[in-house]
Structure 1
Amino acid sequence: MYSLKRENHTVVSEFVFQGFSSFHEHKLTLFVVFFTLYLLTLAGNVIIVIIISIDHHLHTPMYFFLSMLSTSETVYTLVIVPQMLSSLVSLSQPISLAGCATQMFFFITLAINNCFLLTAMGYDRYVAICNPLRYTVIMNKRLCAQLVGGACSIGLFVAIIQISSVFRMPFCNREVAHYFCDIRPVMKLSCADTTLHDIINFVISSLVIVVPMGLVFISYILIISTILTIASAEGRKKTFATCASHLTVVVIHYGCASIAYLKPKSENTRDQDQLISVTYTVFTPLLNPIVYTLRNKEVKDAFHRAIGKNTLA
């Protein structure tokens, strides 16, 4: 039996994505919808990065973290969405084991990086509201760079562990019931017992989702406590408005991640799993430019100033 597994493992040199085969009749519609959302996501995040970089009014820690998040989200979608769009217009989507490992590596790294960047943004809001007199001292350039570097380092470290764990297994099947190389669909192709790998995956997923999410919500408990001590209703409203955009993104981001990776693996069907995946690979990255432009007056003002300068030029 072991030799058979070894033989099957050597035969499988590439995977084939099944993609949205269950929605064959609607592939053209899905392609148009996802392609449109992809272009909006890229354009929105790139515009945010450019606006923050050229407008000196936005050269603050809060918008530094936002620009880093937008950059990460842009690369994140580049890793996943083109493959998904290709699966909608092609009958089969082969990918080598090395290509699959590379896609999974960048996906894990960037997804975890985004989680901890949101935590850094939550800490920034906590310091700004709960300790405003020392804000510029605490949130200096060095600390901001360390927080961003730490978020990326954690993502890289976890990705290396996950990739090493998954791609040591022998694979007997080559058809991935998904549109990209996510951990669970790839692990299902293994000949070996994946119980230990499932436990490792669940523990790591819990840590990289629950820990940053917990830190963010602790920050907001302290923030809300401080806001409630503000005497005027107008002051409370104005202070909370500075956190509303970030809190909206946090709730949706961590909510989708929790549903996708902390639920029992047999709870949903394949179509339900893909629907959840589409939510956090297509719709969630679009939230960043939408929420931070529609709900953020400073970003909108900076955008108008940039357009005004270009018009006058």
Structure 2
Amino acid sequence: MDLVNHTWTQSFLLAGFTTTGALQPLAFLGTLCIYLLTLAGNLFIIVLVQADSRLSTPMYFFISALSFLELWYVSTTVPTLLHTLLHGRSPISPTVCFVQLYVFHSLGMTECYLLSVMALDRYLAICRPLHYHALMSRQVQLWLAGATWAAGFSAALVPARLTATLPFCLKEVAHYFCDLAPLMRLACVDTGWHAQVHIAVIGIINACNLVLILGLYGGILRAVLKLPSAASRAKAFSTCSSHITVVVLFFASAFIVYVGPPESLPEGTDKLLALVYTFLTPFLNPIIYTFRNKEVREAVRRVTQSIRAMMKRP
């Protein structure tokens, strides 16, 4: 599929964030540090799940799948953010711009589907414990993980294609990466119909996945409340708390930015909100799943002890 509008021959300009004087190097260094910590944290989760056999469960497989996704997700937008912080307004070719738009939304929708799969995993673990490992076999895990990527990259074709075929009269994108609303503001034609299609595609996918997650957690809540002891109820809820936190961060920001017409948000607001789901959430995910999870903390201790023991050997 050709994502590029061939009638557009000039480069777009990414406005980025306005930083001057001493704030510019500080903003760049702070963003770079958080980006590197995000990459390191998500890589750490992936390596830890592979290194510790006790984490070879469906739940941690999907957590590592989420970390793998976040590596790509954050790397789709943050390099352009760093470039604009360092150099100010930065040109970006139409090809790169529309590819970035497509990949970003593909990964975002993939994460939306993956969060639903993770909720399904928790539902089966708590509500169908006797059949859990049979229902969530390794083959099923791989199939579900692959299906989330296929669904996400297929769904993103519609908004990316529609936006790429618009005629553009302006070239400055009021954002730090190529996103739907900032690009649609540059069009020479009325984009009301395009906005409705975007809302329908992205809104329906987000809404359906959110309804599915809420329904699964409704079943989990009913099952947990039937448990005989407070300790068993607390243990069951603890396995869901990290996932719930990530779901709230992801869906809250996504609905505010994308489920509404582009003009519904003041210019620049979507740029600030985008930092939540493109930058802050990938940074927080490893922290949420590490420090709020006793099994992960114990796995870190076991792996650390194993490494120390290996280093002490002659």
Q: TM-score range by the shorter chain?
A: over 0.9
Aligned equivalent of 1:277, options 271, 274, 278:
274
Aligned equivalent of 1:107, options 94, 104, 109:
104
Matches of 2:92 and 2:38, distance apart in 1: 25
Aligned twin of 1:226? 223
Aligned equivalent of 1:186, options 183, 186, 196:
183
Pairs within 5 Å for 1:153-172 = 153-172=150-169
Pairs within 5 Å for 1:1-313 = 10=7, 12-21=9-18, 23-24=19-20, 26-313=23-310
RMSD over aligned CA atoms reads 1.5
Displacement, 1:312?
A: 1.6
> Is this contact kept in 1: 2:49–2:56, CA < 8 A?
yes
Displacement, 1:265?
A: 2.7
Displacement, 1:93?
A: 1.0
Matches of 2:265 and 2:25, distance apart in 1: 25
> Is this contact kept in 2: 1:245–1:291, CA < 8 A?
yes
> Is this contact kept in 1: 2:199–2:261, CA < 8 A?
no
Aligned twin of 1:3? none
Give the share of equivalent positions with the same residue, in percent: 38
> Is this contact kept in 1: 2:249–2:281, CA < 8 A?
yes
**Which runs of 5 or more structure 2 residues have no equivalent in the other structure?**
none
- SS state of the match for residue 266, structure 1? helix
Instruction: Give the letter for the 1:140 counterpart.
Output: S
Matches of 1:263 and 1:117, distance apart in 2: 23
Q: Residues 193-220 of structure 1: CA distance to partner in whole angstroms, max 9, x if unpaired?
A: 2111111111111112111111111110
Where does structure 1 differ by over 3 angstroms across 4 or more consecutive aligned residues?
A: 8-12, 23-26
Q: Which moved more, 1:147-156 or 1:260-269?
A: 260-269
Instruction: Give the letter for the 1:56 counterpart.
Output: S
Q: Residues 104-143 of structure 1: CA distance to partner in whole angstroms, max 9, x if unpaired?
A: 1110111111111111000000000001000011111222
TM-score of the aligned structures, taking structure 2 as reference length: 0.93
Instruction: Give the letter for the 2:266 counterpart.
Output: T
Q: Which moved more, 1:166-175 or 1:265-274?
A: 265-274
Q: Residues 192-249 of structure 1: CA distance to partner in whole angstroms, max 9, x if unpaired?
A: 2211111111111111211111111111010010000011111111111111111111
Displacement, 1:63?
A: 0.8
Q: Residues 255-310 of structure 1: CA distance to partner in whole angstroms, max 9, x if unpaired?
A: 11111212443233223221101111110111210100010111111111111111
Displacement, 1:11?
A: 5.4
Matches of 1:178 and 1:140, distance apart in 2: 43
**Which runs of 5 or more structure 1 residues have no equivalent in the other structure?**
1-7
- SS state of the match for residue 264, structure 2? coil
- SS state of the match for residue 263, structure 2? coil
Aligned twin of 1:5? none
Q: Which moved more, 1:130-139 or 1:181-190?
A: 181-190
